[in-house]
Amino acid sequence: MALLNIFSKKKRTGTKPRGRIRPPYLGFFCLGLFFLSVIFADVIAPYDPQEGDLFNTTIPPVWQEEGSLAHILGTDMLGRDVLSRIIHGSRMSLLISVGCILFYGSIGVTLGLVSGFRGGRTDMVIMRLADLWLSLPAIIVLFMLASVHGPSGKTIILTFGIMGWPNYARIVRGECLGLKQRDFVRLARVAGCSKLRIMFSHILPNIVNTIIIMATIEIGFIIVMTATMSFLGLGTQPPSCDWGLMLAEGRQYITYASWLVTFPGIAIVITVLGFNLTGDWLREVLDPKQKLR
């Protein structure tokens, strides 16, 4: 018995309790730089991003030969400061990303709640419509909207609004199917609450964590797609400071002015990395299923 007690004590003391999930400090640092640029762009940027100087075109960064402290990251082909344009471009990226998510997120969440709560034919029609929408090529829709409305930031938001809602609708529907069988929903029905109130006052607050996680992760994806569309000439147009547009303008000078492409690309990588790391951390913190695992 004594030996068994000693063995059991060693076994109990040998187990280590699971600690808290460590925050993504690298992701927070990247997001800190991004939001610092968004909030204080007018203060941090040393020059007007639209102001050019034809006497100081394609000046290299400060650490290269012929570089200047007046332009730390150099200038572009029109003499505009690259650092100032990258800082102000963060505002454009955040504006388009938030606009896209608010647009198609609200559509997808509403249709997902209606589909999951009502069920039956309503559920079947909405889900088949979502399947049909997912089969449409987004690039073709983008070309159609760009030919009708012209290439701009509004065209990007409209394209994502039309094409992005099925993902939200399918995930919210799955969450709603499980929540509508819970006791608090049954009690709300017994209390005489309307279906609209049950969906938006009882079920929706329990899905907010999932929506926040999806939105945080998708912001990085939208920033990449926005840059891609602007690079192809279907997004924002000159003299905008969009990072994708900066890549498109600088690609023909890449052989002797590589900083025109390198620094906007680094800005995109840092921002997307920050949102992806933070989104993964929020999924582990806010999702109860991840906590159980």
Arithmetic mean of pLDDT over the chain: 83
Q: Which of 222, 220, 223, 227 is nearest to 276 (CA)?
A: 220
Alpha carbons 241 and 87: distance in angstroms, whole number: 9
Q: Which of 207, 206, 196, 205 is nearest to 118 (CA)?
A: 196
Percent of the chain, pLDDT > 70? 91
pLDDT in tens, 149-179: 777 888 888 888 788 888 889 999 988 888 8
Bridge partners of 81, per DSSP, are 75
Q: Which fold has domain 24-39+66-292?
A: MetI-like fold (1.10.3720)
Cα→Cα distances 101→97, 154, 214, Å:
6, 13, 10
Query: What's the rounded mean pLDDT across residues 266-272?
Result: 93
- The pLDDT, as a whole number, for residue 289 is 58
pLDDT in tens, 59-97: 889 888 888 888 899 898 888 999 999 999 998 888 888
Does residue 17 carry a pLDDT above 80? Answer: no
Does residue 198 carry a pLDDT above 60? Answer: yes
Residue 65: both structure tokens together:
């030969």
Tokens 């492409």 belong to residue: 261
Query: What's the rounded mean pLDDT across residues 230-253?
Result: 84
- The pLDDT, as a whole number, for residue 86 is 93
Give residue limits of the domains in the chain: 24-39+66-292
Q: Is the separation of the CB atoms in 27 and 273 below 8 Å? A: yes
Does residue 34 carry a pLDDT above 50? Answer: yes
Element (H, E) at 136: none
Choice between 2 and 220, residue whose per-residue pLDDT is larger = 220
